[in-house]
């Protein structure tokens, strides 16, 4: 590639709205151009990187017997109705009618399409297990796109789907995909990736892991036990509660005028927030009953856990009428003295053994001291319905949790028979009986991974691409190109490098040194070659690594060998 013809404008100006380094450099380096909110064009250097990332992914998928296919972006409503997701998914899915008025959607994922593909084509257990994958565009009308390529509305995903006869077979293959993903991130140069237990959602399935690039810029919160090896997304993480045993004291009403928040009540009574209890009041979307969640005053409801426990998709805070109907006094509410048959009762583990806590008295301006769950209520569905927080203990361990953030760069999922049952996809087993396929699904976001690679590898001047995915392996700068035959010698060398399979860009623009170097930094090729008036005197060039001050002089005649040796050295380090 010649810089003089490269499409994509580089700029010194810092984009005003871009907070993340990756977003800044993608814009400043002429990698991407925004067309609309969350919708970007990828310019040549960005496309080159994605091709290299995709080649690594493809290679790893093929190693585990993946069969590459391409499913359509536009799909008829009918298959989404079969799975029940047409109504289950909200406005993230784009829906439209074609010219005949027939309803269609834009694919935001492809479980339906893959089951449609397989269900009449794979008929026998002899064909199983198998895995199908694609590298394809997804469209999701995300509420908040952000961070350049981190969260966009249109993006490329590698999505894979496996089909099995048994849960055991799925479990084994799942482990293979897990290892395959570890190799993908490593080979692309993304090192700070961990897999964490994750939510399986409402769509069935028991086991799921997310691959998280650990970085403060992430939207996900991760709960880690560094010694015990515990790793889970906050959405599903659990902790355990240890309390020193205390004698149960008598219940006692206490006047707490106008003190309806945990903070006010605990201050007034001189208690810690951990010595209080509170109720969160919600409406059940199906039967309209009140849901009462009892948890320790300092804890926050985990809505995902609540939804899972009640097998519902949505929850909303309850209206005052519904609360009062159940005999609960808002602001001073508790479970004391109410008709429990009128409510769905969830008890967070934090309160089960927490001794002598203060709770509402269901009476204006009053609380009750010394509530003990096992003595005073002992009812409801006990579970962990609050988020793990700072100071909590890792489950089955005495270690305190470490809380950090991450960007989800991939996930793997044991789906089970959810889609094959809903969409009636079966094969004949060895007894000639029809069985539903047991499925797994596995995703990697290509553009998001590219952005994370910049987050991990950059300096103040631009990205420092790992050699395996760099847009170019070598950046050849020709300084004072018009003098002393530098341009000719440089362009000849450029051709020679290309002929030997080196991925090289040459700066043939006759621009000033600082200008050329700033552009080279933004393009981020790992190896830099410079021919200048000084080096040409001895028919030499300067060889250095991106971001390093160490330079060596090498003869142009043996440039190909020198550069190839450097490339091999860098590749060996990945």
- The residues that touch ligand ATP, with contacts defined as CB under 6 A, are 109, 140, 142, 151-152, 155, 157, 408-411, 443-445, 447-448
Distance from first CA to last CA of the chain, Å, rounded?
A: 25
CA dihedral 110, 112, 114, 118 (to 10 degrees): 180
Q: Which of 157/556 has CB closer to ligand ATP?
A: 157
Rounded CA gap, 439 and 112, in Å? Answer: 12
Q: Which of 190/351 has CB closer to ligand ATP?
A: 190
Under DSSP, is residue 289 helix (H, G, I), strand (E, B) or coil? coil
Q: Which of 218/225 has CB closer to ligand ATP?
A: 218
Give the nearest distance from C-beta 156 to ligand ATP in angstroms: 8
Q: Which of 416/445 has CB closer to ligand ATP?
A: 445
- How far are the Cα atoms of 292, 342, 346, 552 from residue 323, in angstroms, in the given order? 9, 10, 15, 76
Rounded CA gap, 28 and 11, in Å? Answer: 5
Radius of gyration of the chain (CA): 30
Provide the 8-state DSSP code for 124.
B
Q: Which of 145/350 has CB closer to ligand ATP?
A: 145
Give the nearest distance from C-beta 566 to ligand ATP in angstroms: 32
Pairing mode, strands 130-139 and 154-164: antiparallel
Q: Between vectors from CA 235 to CA 224 and to CA 175, what angle results, nearest 5°?
A: 65
Give the nearest distance from C-beta 159 to ligand ATP in angstroms: 7
Which is nearest to 83 in space by CA: 420, 440, 434?
Answer: 420
Rounded CA gap, 170 and 415, in Å? Answer: 9
Give the nearest distance from C-beta 407 to ligand ATP in angstroms: 8
Q: Which of 103/201 has CB closer to ligand ATP?
A: 201
Give the nearest distance from C-beta 198 to ligand ATP in angstroms: 8
Give the nearest distance from C-beta 20 to ligand ATP in angstroms: 13
Residue sitting closest to ligand ATP (CB): 445
Q: Which of 155/465 has CB closer to ligand ATP?
A: 155
**Tokens 């190896």 sit at which residue?**
527
Q: Which of 57/328 has CB closer to ligand ATP?
A: 57
Q: Long-range contacts of range 180-186, CB-CB < 8 Å, 24 or more positions apart? A: 180/60, 180/61, 180/63, 180/64, 181/60, 181/211, 181/410, 181/412, 181/442, 181/444, 183/60, 184/56, 184/57, 184/60, 184/410, 184/444, 185/211, 185/213, 185/409, 185/410, 185/449, 186/574
Which is nearest to 331 in space by CA: 358, 353, 360?
Answer: 360
Rounded CA gap, 225 and 25, in Å? Answer: 34
Give the nearest distance from C-beta 181 to ligand ATP in angstroms: 10
Q: Which of 140/234 has CB closer to ligand ATP?
A: 140
Give the nearest distance from C-beta 208 to ligand ATP in angstroms: 9
Q: Which of 142/182 has CB closer to ligand ATP?
A: 142
Give the nearest distance from C-beta 444 to ligand ATP in angstroms: 6
Give the nearest distance from C-beta 438 to ligand ATP in angstroms: 19
Under DSSP, is residue 175 helix (H, G, I), strand (E, B) or coil? helix
Rounded CA gap, 409 and 192, in Å? Answer: 11
């Amino acid at each position: 590639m010649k810089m003089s013809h490269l499409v994509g404008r580089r700029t010194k100006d810092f984009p005003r709205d871009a907070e993340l380094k990756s977003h800044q450099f993608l814009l400043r380096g002429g990698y991407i151009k925004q067309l609309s909110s969350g919708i970007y064009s990828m310019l040549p250097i960005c496309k080159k990187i994605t091709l290299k990332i995709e080649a690594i992914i493809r290679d790893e998928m093929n190693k585990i017997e993946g069969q590459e296919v391409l499913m359509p972006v536009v799909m008829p409503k009918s298959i989404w109705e079969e799975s029940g997701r047409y109504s289950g998914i909200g406005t993230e899915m784009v829906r439209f009618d074609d010219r005949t008025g027939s309803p269609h959607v834009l694919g935001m994922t492809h479980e339906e399409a893959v089951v449609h593909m397989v269900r009449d084509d794979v008929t026998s257990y002899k064909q199983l297990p198998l895995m199908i994958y694609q590298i394809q565009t997804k469209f999701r009308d995300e509420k908040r796109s952000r961070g350049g390529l981190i969260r966009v509305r249109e993006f490329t995903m590698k999505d894979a789907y496996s089909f099995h006869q048994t849960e055991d077979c799925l479990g084994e293959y799942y482990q293979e995909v897990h290892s395959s993903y570890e190799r993908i991130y490593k080979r692309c140069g993304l090192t700070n990736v961990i897999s964490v237990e994750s939510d399986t959602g409402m769509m069935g399935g028991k086991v799921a892991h997310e691959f998280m690039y650990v970085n403060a810029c992430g939207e996900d919160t991760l709960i880690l036990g560094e010694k015990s090896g515990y790793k889970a997304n906050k959405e599903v993480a659990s902790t355990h509660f240890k309390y020193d045993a205390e004698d149960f004291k008598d219940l006692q009403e206490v006047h707490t005028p106008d003190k309806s928040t945990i903070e006010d009540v605990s201050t007034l009574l001189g208690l810690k927030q951990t010595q209080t209890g509170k109720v969160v009041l919600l409406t059940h979307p199906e039967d309209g009953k009140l849901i009462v969640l009892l948890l320790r005053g300092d804890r926050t409801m985990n809505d995902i856990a609540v939804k899972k426990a009640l097998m519902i998709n949505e929850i909303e805070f309850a209206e005052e009428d519904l609360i009062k109907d159940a005999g609960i006094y808002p602001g001073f509410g508790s479970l004391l003295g109410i008709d429990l048959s009128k409510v769905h009762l969830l008890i967070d583990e934090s309160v089960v053994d927490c001794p002598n806590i203060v709770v509402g008295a269901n009476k204006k301006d009053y609380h009750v001291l010394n509530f003990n769950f096992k003595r005073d209520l002992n009812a409801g569905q006990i579970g962990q319905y609050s988020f793990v927080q700072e100071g909590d203990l890792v489950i089955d361990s005495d270690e305190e949790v470490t809380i950090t953030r991450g960007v989800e760069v991939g996930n793997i999922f044991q789906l089970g028979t959810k889609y094959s049952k809903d969409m009636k996809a079966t094969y004949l087993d060895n007894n000639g009986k029809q069985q539903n396929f047991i499925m797994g699904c596995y995703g990697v976001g290509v553009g998001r991974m590219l952005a994370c690679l910049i987050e991990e590898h950059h300096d103040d001047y631009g990205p420092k691409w790992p050699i395996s995915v760099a847009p170019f392996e070598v950046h050849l700068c020709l300084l004072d190109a018009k003098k002393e035959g530098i341009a000719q010698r440089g362009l000849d060398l450029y051709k020679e490098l290309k002929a030997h399979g080196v991925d090289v860009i040459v700066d043939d623009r006759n621009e000033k040194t600082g200008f050329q170097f700033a552009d080279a930094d933004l393009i981020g090729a790992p190896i830099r070659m410079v021919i200048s008036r000084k080096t040409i005197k001895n028919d030499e060039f300067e060889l250095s690594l991106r971001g390093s001050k160490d330079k060596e002089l090498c003869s142009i005649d043996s440039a190909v060998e020198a550069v190839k040796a450097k490339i091999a050295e860098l590749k060996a380090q990945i």
